[in-house]
Amino acid sequence: MNDVARVAQVALKTVSRYVNGATNIDPVLSKRIGDAIEELGYRRNLAAASIRPGWTSRMVGLIISDLANPYYSTLARAIEEILGAEGYMLIVASSEEDGEQHDRLVNRLIDQRVDGLIIVPPQKAGRDWSRFPPPIPPLVFLDRPGAYERADTVLADDRDGAAAATNTLLDAGARRIAFVGDSRGIYTMQERFHGYAAALEARGIPVDDALVQDGAHTGDHAARIVGELLDRGEADAVFAANNRASIGALFAFRERGRELPLVGFDDFEAAPLNVPAVTVATPDLDEMGRTAARLLLARLRGSDEPALTERLPVDVVLRGSQLPR
């Protein structure tokens, strides 16, 4: 900044005001400062500025479970839209459902002086939040609850959504409905299983453990599971408990040359392109992300309201795949 002031022939304080966005600087001086900055290649050191009293990094950290999953990229895009409009930069990282990785990322982001954190808690818990050294910046849990009493939380109503998805198949005549999804150690998957089970039991249909397949972490895993269900002839419909399970089911149907009624949880881009198009139970992911961002911004602006939990509804989008073939 001293170099810029010397080349522009202005006071250091004027350069400081310029780079901090002041708009009441004489236009002639502003042009000289801008020209000097361009000539010298000057860049503000925001990392250094963020440690000064009253200054912030204008950065927010987002920790999700899997960067490759479109579910989380949709959430991240919505969060970035809201934060970007307020001048914040979003840093995204993945815990891969590992508690130790989650802890390392939290420590690193706090060390980077992020102003706030939005976190999808991992399947394998890391340190208790009470054991993270202070100060902990404003924090929002997304998609799954976390154990920190001062954090806001944004969830989808996974249980009711899964019950609605299962009821859609029951209403279409199915009775032996397979549950295909990721590990039930994940909060969202456990909630979806409970909704599936509750819908069956309300119709007097007991849960058959042979039809509960919760090892489908990837689309390939789901395809193998659904292919085996088709080979055994045990199921007359499939509830795919996440987008990857739905995609895996479609691959298995194509490979085996026959299909079962299908309802998925979470929408995905190719769902309307299948024939028949895939019926899904889906939350509004854009609104989930926007809600998380707005809650965090409120905390960054000084809100000291008690921690909130926002639970968004899950709607069933009927497209035809729930019907018997």
Tokens of 128: 């208790």
C-alpha–C-alpha distance, residues 131 and 303, integer Å:
24
CB-count burial class (<10 Å; 0-12, 13-18, 19+) for 54: exposed
C-alpha–C-alpha distance, residues 274 and 270, integer Å:
7
Helix, strand, coil percentages for the chain (3-state, nearest 5): 45, 15, 40
Decide if 171 contacts 316 (C-beta within 8 A).
no
Q: What is the four-CA torsion angle of 208, 214, 219, 221, rounded to 10 degrees?
A: -90
Tens of pLDDT along the chain (325 residues) come to 899 999 999 999 999 888 877 878 999 999 999 999 989 988 876 556 555 555 678 999 999 999 888 999 999 999 999 999 999 999 999 999 999 999 999 999 998 889 999 999 998 888 888 888 788 999 999 999 998 999 999 999 999 999 999 999 999 999 999 999 999 999 999 999 999 999 999 999 999 999 999 988 899 999 999 999 999 999 999 999 999 999 999 999 999 999 999 999 999 999 999 999 999 999 999 999 999 999 999 999 999 999 999 999 999 999 999 999 8
The alpha carbon of 53 is separated from its chain's Cα centroid by a whole number of angstroms, namely 32
Residue with tokens 């966005």: 21
User: Which of these, 194, 159, 119, 166, lies nearest to 312 by C-alpha position?
Assistant: 159
User: Which of these, 177, 182, 181, lies nearest to 198 by C-alpha position?
Assistant: 177
CB atoms within 10 A of CB 70: 15
What pTM was computed for the model? 0.83
Determine the number of helices (DSSP H) and then strands (DSSP E) in the chain.
11, 12
User: Which of these, 232, 224, 233, lies nearest to 255 by C-alpha position?
Assistant: 224
Counted residue by residue, the chain has a size of: 325
Decide if 192 contacts 264 (C-beta within 8 A).
no
pLDDT (0 to 100) of residue 111: 87
Phi first, then psi: give them for residue 170, nearest 5 degrees: -65, -45
Query: β-pairing, 237-240 with 177-180?
Result: parallel
For 310, the 3-state DSSP assignment is strand
DSSP-H helix ranges across 172-284 = 187-202, 219-232, 243-256
C-alpha–C-alpha distance, residues 168 and 160, integer Å:
12
Decide if 161 contacts 281 (C-beta within 8 A).
yes
pLDDT (0 to 100) of residue 51: 55
